[in-house]
């Protein structure tokens, strides 16, 4: 089963903001809460008449971790020359409130999206140069050179693209995870495989790989890793929907009970992704016939345990085994400041590897990691889309080559 973007968005219109589009406490150039419209906006509203409706605004920038600024207002789409029939129409998008003026800057991406599930319209201000900016550009197959001169309209046909793991994570970061449709086939698969039985994250990781028989973990390790993670995410989402529907049918005892249950769902999602990431990396290493141990206790430390040691604990504690053949890998689905914890792990290994799925690591953080002798490992799709050409960042394939070469030279 594949998820499609049209299950989230019915249609989309977007443009890069110009100075005249913004009016707020900093920028007084704008025409007073109005974005100049084009044919793309008229396609979006599917009307040559005045349109008015509520809109929920979001501002996306890497400076915010999870709680992004948001506000609900109204908009009006109208012809500013409607009272003068001798002049051609000039359509404008009027936004009430100060949200756009407070957060938007010239060059930011302005997105209007109609949700498939509710037909509601949301507005997104996306900071230029941020990970969200690059992510949405790839998600919607936009070209920057087109956006520099005009707006773009994307209809249902153009949104018929299958979502991969990177795009699913982007939508999750945008707060739209719950809008990604669940396949009834996946619900049936989870019920058939596990029924009402207790299952662990590892069991679902194994099941996801079983369903991804078309991938090649040796020839295409980066693609394989993300495919396994995407399939596992789909399966967990299907099970979560079944579980939530069951809970809703039985009801909640109180508002506090509802809040407690909602928080447990959110926390479980975060915990699951970290475990899934490690599980699928472990499977990838096994498929590539590498020697390693997962989360071994070394250096007498039970708290600072490395996620993976190559070729294993026995070699690490053997002082006669040369440290140049040892490799340590930490695996964190998001980076934040957790990379600093790696510095306390595996004392015998000065150059440590840090594998992540995080598209939001800044250039300054990368420099700090390099100075601390930490080598970033990022799946090729994420690395190329978000970080471009950077010789200091290894793909998963590159990392496997490093470990394979060291184990070959150690004659293992």
Going by pLDDT thresholds of 50, 70 and 90, the confidence category of residue 249 is: confident
CATH classification of the domain holding 95: 2.40.330
Q: Is residue 249 located within the same domain as residue 297?
A: no
pLDDT at 93: 85
Q: How far lies 293's CA from each of 228, 312, 327, 357, 367, in Å? A: 21, 5, 11, 21, 29
- Residue 79, SS3 per DSSP: strand
Asked if residue 175 is part of any domain, the answer here is no
- Residue pLDDT, tens place only, 66-78: 789 999 999 998 8
Q: Is residue 135 located within the same domain as residue 192?
A: no
The last residue of a domain, from among 287, 308, 342? 287
Q: Which residue has the tokens 């795009």?
A: 167
- Residue 190, SS3 per DSSP: helix
Q: Is residue 312 located within the same domain as residue 250?
A: no
Least confident of 24-33, 192-201, 275-284, 315-324: 24-33
User: If 0-12 CB within 10 Å is exposed, 13-18 middle and 19+ buried, where does residue 313 land?
Assistant: middle
Asked if residue 170 is part of any domain, the answer here is no
Query: 130: which 2 tokens?
Result: 């941020």
pLDDT at 156: 87
**Cα radius of gyration rounded to whole Å, the chain:** 25
Least confident of 64-73, 212-221, 251-260, 396-405: 251-260
The last residue of a domain, from among 228, 256, 287? 287
Q: Is residue 348 located within the same domain as residue 393?
A: yes
User: If 0-12 CB within 10 Å is exposed, 13-18 middle and 19+ buried, where does residue 24 land?
Assistant: middle
pLDDT at 405: 97
What mean pLDDT comes out for the span 130-158? 84
The last residue of a domain, from among 164, 193, 225? 164
Asked if residue 280 is part of any domain, the answer here is yes
- Residue 279, SS3 per DSSP: helix
What mean pLDDT comes out for the span 276-295? 97
Highest-confidence range of 169-173, 208-212, 365-369, by mean pLDDT?
A: 208-212
What mean pLDDT comes out for the span 99-128? 92
Asked if residue 391 is part of any domain, the answer here is yes
**Rounded distance between C-alpha atoms, residue 170 and residue 164, angstroms:** 10
Q: Is residue 387 located within the same domain as residue 246?
A: no
Q: Is residue 265 located within the same domain as residue 375?
A: no
- Residue pLDDT, tens place only, 75-88: 998 877 777 777 77
Q: Which domain holds residue 34?
A: 5-164
pLDDT at 244: 83
Is pLDDT of 289 > 70? yes
Q: In terms of pLDDT, which residue wins out, 94 or 407?
A: 407
Q: Is residue 232 located within the same domain as residue 160?
A: no
Asked if residue 179 is part of any domain, the answer here is no
Is pLDDT of 36 > 90? no
- Residue 146, SS3 per DSSP: helix
Q: How many Å separate Cα 338 from the centre of its chain?
A: 18
Q: Is residue 115 located within the same domain as residue 234?
A: no
CATH classification of the domain holding 211: 3.40.91.80
pLDDT cut 90: percent of the chain above it: 53
Beta strands in 246-299 (DSSP E): 293-294
| Complete DSSP assignment for 118-139 | T--EEEEEE-TTSHHHHHHHHH
What mean pLDDT comes out for the span 394-412? 96
Q: How many domains is the chain built from?
A: 3
Is pLDDT of 103 > 60? yes
Is pLDDT of 30 > 50? no
What mean pLDDT comes out for the span 104-127? 93
Asked if residue 174 is part of any domain, the answer here is no
Q: Is residue 27 located within the same domain as residue 150?
A: yes
Asked if residue 176 is part of any domain, the answer here is no
What mean pLDDT comes out for the span 166-192? 91
Q: Is residue 282 located within the same domain as residue 307?
A: no
- Rounded mean pLDDT of the chain? 88
- Residue pLDDT, tens place only, 190-247: 999 998 777 899 999 999 999 998 999 999 999 999 999 999 999 999 998 888 888 7
pLDDT at 247: 79
pLDDT at 2: 58
Asked if residue 362 is part of any domain, the answer here is yes
Is pLDDT of 409 > 60? yes
pLDDT at 29: 47
Q: Is residue 200 located within the same domain as residue 53?
A: no
pLDDT at 378: 97
First to last CA, the chain: 40
Q: Is residue 16 located within the same domain as residue 152?
A: yes
Is pLDDT of 27 > 50? no
Is pLDDT of 346 > 50? yes
Is pLDDT of 349 > 90? yes
What mean pLDDT comes out for the span 53-65? 90
């Amino acid at each position: 089963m594949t998820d499609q973007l049209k299950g989230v968005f019915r249609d989309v219109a977007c443009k890069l903001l110009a100075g005249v589009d913004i009016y707020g406490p900093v920028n007084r150039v704008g025409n007073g809460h109005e974005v100049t419209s084009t044919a793309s906006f008229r396609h979006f509203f599917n009307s040559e008449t005045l349109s008015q409706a509520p809109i929920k605004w979001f501002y996306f920038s890497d400076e915010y971790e999870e709680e992004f600024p948001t506000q609900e207002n109204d908009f009006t789409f109208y012809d500013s020359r409607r009272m003068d029939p001798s002049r051609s129409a000039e359509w404008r998008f009027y936004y009430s409130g100060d949200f756009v003026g407070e957060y938007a800057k010239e060059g930011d991406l302005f997105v209007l999206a109609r949700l498939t599930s509710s037909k509601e319209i949301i507005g997104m201000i996306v900071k230029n140069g941020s990970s969200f900016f690059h992510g949405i550009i790839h998600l919607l197959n936009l070209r920057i050179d087109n956006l520099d001169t005009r707006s773009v309209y994307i209809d249902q046909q153009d949104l018929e693209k299958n979502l991969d793991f990177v795009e699913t994570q982007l939508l999750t970061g945008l707060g739209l995870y719950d809008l990604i449709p669940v396949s009834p086939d996946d619900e049936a698969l989870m019920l058939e495989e596990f029924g009402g039985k207790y299952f662990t994250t590892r069991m679902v990781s194994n099941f996801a790989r079983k369903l991804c028989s078309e991938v090649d973990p040796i020839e295409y390790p980066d693609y394989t890793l993300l495919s396994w993670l995407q399939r596992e995410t789909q399966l967990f989402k299907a099970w979560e929907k079944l579980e939530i529907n069951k809970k809703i049918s039985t009801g909640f005892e109180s508002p506090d009970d509802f809040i407690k249950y909602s928080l447990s769902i959110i926390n479980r999602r975060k915990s699951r992704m970290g475990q899934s990431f490690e599980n699928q990396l472990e499977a990838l290493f096994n498929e590539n016939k590498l020697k390693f141990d997962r989360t071994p206790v070394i250096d007498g430390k039970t708290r600072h345990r490395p996620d993976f040691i190559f070729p294993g604990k026995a070699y690490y504690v053997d002082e006669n085994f040369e440290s140049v053949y040892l490799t340590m890998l930490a695996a964190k689905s998001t980076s934040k400041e957790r990379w600093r914890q790696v510095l306390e792990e595996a004392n015998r290994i000065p150059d440590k590897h840090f594998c992540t799925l995080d598209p939001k690591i800044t250039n300054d953080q990368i420099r700090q990691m390099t100075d601390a002798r930490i080598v970033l490992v990022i799946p090729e799709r994420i690395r190329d889309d978000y970080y471009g050409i950077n010789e200091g960042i290894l793909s998963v394939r590159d990392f496997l080559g490093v470990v394979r070469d060291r184990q070959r030279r150690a004659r293992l």
